[in-house]
Chains A and B, each alone.
Chain A
Amino acid sequence: MYELIAFYLFSGLTIAMFLIVVLSKNALYAMSALAAGMILISGFFFLLDADFLGVVQIIVYTGAVMALYAFGMMFFDTTQDVKENIQNSKIIYGLWILSAVLIVIMISAPFMSEKLMLDASLSQDLIAGANNPQAVGIILFTKYLVQFELAAVMLLVAMIVGIILASKRMDSSITLEEEDEKILKEEFDIRESK
């Protein structure tokens, strides 16, 4: 009963929050709604007995990613509305959504009909009696150790790239073709003079 209420509460709120993200005109509202949605998704994870992942979700998404977006938005003029010229009609979007749903049904129908059973034989005895964070740690550092190290290297690369791209002098050294550069400069000057 409790699970039922929690599930419907979390799913309704998450869908509402993400709809706000997608539909709102103001980027600041969108960011706040996204942060709220992230926290609500961690609610799903706790509901699914994935305690560790729920905590990671809160720390990484709401703590790191959304803070990064918040800092990034200080570089932009968020009060200036981006004029979005949307030419396509609603029918196009309807067809998009319909085709996406159709693909999902096509792919998932065989699985649902067969009622695929898992073979969870692999590491079941290894994690017997461990609670979720312990089990995650055991699996992560035995079966997925190489991937874990690769993820660490990837995060390091991403950090260096972020520092290089956002630091001050780099925008003059990372260039496009020279002519494009001139065109962009002119456009920028025109926009400045307005």
Chain B
Amino acid sequence: MITLTHYLVVSSILFVIGLVGVIRRKNLLLLFFSTEILLNSVNIGFVAVAKFYGDLTGQMFAFFIIAVAASEVAVGLGLLILWYKRTGTIDLDSMQLMKG
């Protein structure tokens, strides 16, 4: 029998994978991918809670998270293309304008 805990465990494993991606990768495109993984893992958690508590609010939250993710991709990819046009690289370290 699959319980809520199973889904939450899978969700947190996926979240950790996304977190590792965000921390570790230096390619900006891969950073965006990792962000998508984070959002999706949270979605799984929300929908699982919605099912096991019999309340649709979790699904609504997941729905709005998908909307936020879509707009985040549009804006973020626009900025990334702009940056690539300027500098010719999508390395995260190329964004260190402040020499700290």
Asked if chains A and B come from one complex, the reply is yes
Tell me whether A45 and B71 are in contact (CB under 8 A): no
Residues of A within 8 A of B12 (CB): 101, 104
Tell me whether B62 and A84 are in contact (CB under 8 A): no
Smallest CB-CB separation from A159: which chain B residue? Answer: B74
Residues of A within 8 A of B70 (CB): 60, 64-65, 155, 158
How long is the Cα–Cα vector from A184 to B7 in the complex, in angstroms?
47
Interface size on B, residues (CB 8 A): 71
How long is the Cα–Cα vector from A156 to B60 in the complex, in angstroms?
20
Tell me whether B14 and A14 are in contact (CB under 8 A): yes
Smallest CB-CB separation from B23: which chain A residue? Answer: A96
Tell me whether B33 and A53 are in contact (CB under 8 A): no
How long is the Cα–Cα vector from A47 to B39 in the complex, in angstroms?
19
Highest count of chain A CB atoms <10 Å: which of B23, B63, B84:
B63
* Contact with B81, one of A15, A101, A158, A166 (Cβ below 8 angstroms): A166
Q: A30-B33, A82-B89 are in contact. Are A166 and B7 (CB under 8 A)?
A: no
Residues of B within 8 A of A127 (CB): 56
* Contact with B77, one of A69, A84, A101 (Cβ below 8 angstroms): A69
Tell me whether B24 and A22 are in contact (CB under 8 A): yes
Smallest CB-CB separation from B32: which chain A residue? Answer: A69
Interface size on A, residues (CB 8 A): 83
* Contact with A44, one of B1, B7, B16, B89 (Cβ below 8 angstroms): B7
Tell me whether A171 and B86 are in contact (CB under 8 A): yes
Residues of A within 8 A of B6 (CB): 7
Tell me whether A11 and B24 are in contact (CB under 8 A): no
Tell me whether A165 and B78 are in contact (CB under 8 A): yes
Tell me whether A65 and B36 are in contact (CB under 8 A): yes
Tell me whether B81 and A65 are in contact (CB under 8 A): no
Tell me whether B17 and A165 are in contact (CB under 8 A): no
Tell me whether A101 and B67 are in contact (CB under 8 A): no
A91 at the interface (CB under 8 A from B): no
How long is the Cα–Cα vector from A48 to B37 in the complex, in angstroms?
19
Residues of B within 8 A of A75 (CB): 81, 84-85
How long is the Cα–Cα vector from A193 to B60 in the complex, in angstroms?
53
How long is the Cα–Cα vector from A122 to B1 in the complex, in angstroms?
28
Smallest CB-CB separation from A52: which chain B residue? Answer: B59
Smallest CB-CB separation from A164: which chain B residue? Answer: B78
Tell me whether B74 and A135 are in contact (CB under 8 A): no
Residues of B within 8 A of A154 (CB): 67-68, 71
10 examples of A-B residue contacts, CB within 8 angstroms: A22-B17, A38-B36, A56-B63, A57-B43, A72-B29, A85-B26, A101-B12, A162-B78, A171-B85, A171-B86
User: Would you list the 10 A-B pairs with minimal beta carbon distance, nearest first?
Assistant: A165-B78, A158-B71, A84-B26, A22-B21, A162-B74, A118-B53, A82-B27, A158-B74, A151-B67, A72-B77
